[in-house]
Structure 1
Amino acid sequence: MFFPVSKLLGFFALPSNAVMVLGLVGLVLMATRWARLGRGLVVASLVLLAVFGWSPLGNALLVPLEARFAPFRDDGRPIAGIVILGGATTPDVAAARDEVVLNEAAERMTAAAALALRHPEARVIHSGGDASFVFGGGNESDSALRLLRDLGLPAERLVPEDRSRNTVENAAFTKAIAQPKPGERWLLVTSAYHMPRSIGVFRQAGFAVEPYPVDWRTVGPSDALRPFATLGDGLRRTDTAMREWVGLVVYWLTGRSSDLFPGPRPGCDLGRADNCRP
């Protein structure tokens, strides 16, 4: 039940979708006795579209998410496993073209492959199934594991977790596969902006992971003042950031995350699962 509800709420949580719905409602009302209200909604939707698309709002929302966890510093200690969250491939196009197709989150795959090659002792689990709601999008793990093999990782090190449709299922299903032991060191690879929500969910599931953020979208705080040159770029960035902030609140309110805004907690992130939960 949580998955379809989250998809529905997620649609309206995206500013671009909400603004367009607002404008369309306004257009419909303009043909009724509430025409004045309709005109107001249309004007409001145009103003909001400009703010969300051209202003620095998207970057301002994304910067604190990306700054929450510092880049990983390899101290040479052994790593038991690497968990790669899905979201870097486009499975429907990959299936149609019989090729691995990466999107703008490609570093989740490329950085994880480089990490795994540096640590040949680590198991590698890719977590991601078919997250589509209406149209079948194909399974992410199929093309993800194909890419990892092409990049030089032995097939025997690679484990697919191909059932998950969201971050909550990522944590639960991956933990069941990994069966992490106390003191083992597991790294979690995902986009920097997605790391706070991911860490909160994994902590709540009792799976101690160290953050390995990749795929930064901003240069830092200075981007919070930099407007976008195109409406599409700004809307995409605002949607990405707002999805995370709404997800953080919803996951925390529904008990699926350990904190409202998870941050570094060394006792948990260094393999002490007993300290991961609130």
Structure 2
Amino acid sequence: MFFVSSKVFWLLIAPSSLLLFCFGFAVLMSALQFKRVAQAFYLLATTAFLLIGTTPAIDYAFYYWGKGNQPPKNINLQDYEGVIVLGGAIDLHETAAQNRLILNGNYARITELLALRAKAPYLKVIYSGGSGYLINKTDLREADIFKDYFVNEFKSDSSVIYTENQSKNTYENALYSRNLYISKFSKEWPNVEPWLLLTSAYHMPRAYAVFRTQGWNITPYPTPHMTKPVFWNSFTTKFWDNWMKTDVLAREIIGSIAYKLTDKI
């Protein structure tokens, strides 16, 4: 129920949805001859569209949101039992359509794991991710695709690869990974051995809080974060890219608030 309600709620309040609502409402008011109301909403929507779509405002917001999320310096990987990788890096629909592994904008979750495995092939890996689609659903599960490619294509040792393929959101990532850990390793909970948590830098604040609440002994290992934007070199005409970034950041902020209000963190 929480998953469905959160998805529907997000569709209604996402910044890009609100922008479209403002434009649509302006058109409706204009058609109904409420000219001043229409002009006000046209002005509001156009200003927001240009401010976020062309200026470096969202890049600065992204930078400061994830600024404190950096991989530990001089980390000794031998101190860790394994790494938990959160799903969200594999495009399920394109992977199915093209019959090959297709990554999305969160691809660094996979490349960072490959780098870790090259340094420490003994680390256990828990890949947590099912399908987070509310509409346009697919029977594919991200964790299953991950294991198939890592074992068969990348020739990884299957004995250290564990997958959890039921989770649909960050809270379920932590909960179902905990259940997997208890069942596979037959250990007491909360776990004592430290694990790394690998996800995108912008996602780490919420993910880390959820995993800690579930009792994990976890160390954040975020993907590389964006560098500080250079103001005079950051203006752009990539309107849609900037609005997608705005949606991503807003989802993390609102998601953190929702998780706090529902005692998930």
TM-score (norm 2): 0.89
Deviation at 1:63, TM superposition (A): 1.2
Equivalent residue, structure 2, for 1:100: 101
Q: CA deviation at 1:99?
A: 0.5
Aligned counterpart in structure 2 of residue 193 of structure 1, from 198, 202, 213: 202
**What is the CA-CA distance between 1:215 and the residue it aligns to?**
4.4
Q: Counterpart of 1:256? A: 264
Structure 1's 131 and 214: CA in aligned 2 closer, same or farther, altered over 3 A? same
Q: Name 2:149's counterpart in structure 1.
A: 147
Confirm or deny that 1:128 pairs with 2:136: no
**d(CA) in 2 for partners of 1:95 and 1:76?**
35
Question: For residue 21 of structure 1, what is the aligned residue in structure 2?
Answer: 21
Matches within 5 A, 1:191-270: 191-216=200-225, 218-220=226-228, 222=230, 226-257=234-265
Rounded to whole Å, the distance in 1 between the matches of 2:52 and 2:245 is: 9
Q: Deviations over 1:3-26 (max 9, x none)?
A: 111112222342122101121122
1:83 aligns with 2:92: no
Moved more, 61-70 or 82-91: 61-70
Among all aligned residue pairs of Structure 1 and Structure 2, give the percentage whose two residues are the same amino acid. 27
- Counterpart code for 2:133: S
3-state SS of paired residue (2:222)? strand
1:75-130 Cα deviation digits (max 9, x unpaired):
24332121100111101111121110011211101211221332233221111101
**Cα distance in structure 1, aligned partners of 2:161 and 2:242:** 37
Residue 168 (1) aligns with residue 171 (2): yes
User: 1:3 and 1:247 mapped to 2: Cα distance?
Assistant: 12
- 1:117 is the counterpart of 2:126: no
8 Å contact kept, 1:26–1:37:
yes
1:211: how far off? Answer: 0.5
User: What is the distance in 2 between the residues matched to 1:215 and 1:131?
Assistant: 24
- Hey, which bits of structure 1, 4+ residues long, moved more than 4 A? 221-225
CA distance in 1, matches of 2:259, 2:114: 29
Do the aligned partners of 1:56 and 1:223 also contact (CA within 8 Å) in 2? Answer: yes
Q: Secondary structure at the match of 2:203?
A: helix
* 3-state SS in 1 of match to 2:45: helix
Give the superposition deviation at 1:64.
Answer: 2.1
CA contact (8 A) 2:56 2:229 kept: no
Native 8 Å contact 2:23 2:45 kept in 1: yes
Q: 1:8 to 1:224 in 2, by over 3 A?
A: farther
Aligned to 1:57: 57
How far apart are residue 155 of structure 1 and its match?
1.9
1:224–1:171 distance in 2 versus 1, CA, 3 Å: farther
Distance 1:207 1:223 in 2: 40
1:136 partner SS: coil
Q: Is contact 1:30-1:38 (8 Å) kept?
A: yes
3-state SS, counterpart of residue 69 of structure 2: coil
SS state of the match for residue 78, structure 2?
coil
Give the root-mean-square deviation of aligned CA atoms: 2.0
Q: Are residues 243 and 224 of structure 1, via their aligned partners in 2, closer, same or farther at CA, if it must alter by over 3 Å?
A: farther
CA 1:118–1:136: 2 relative to 1, 3 Å: same
Q: 3-state SS of the aligned residue for 1:192? A: coil
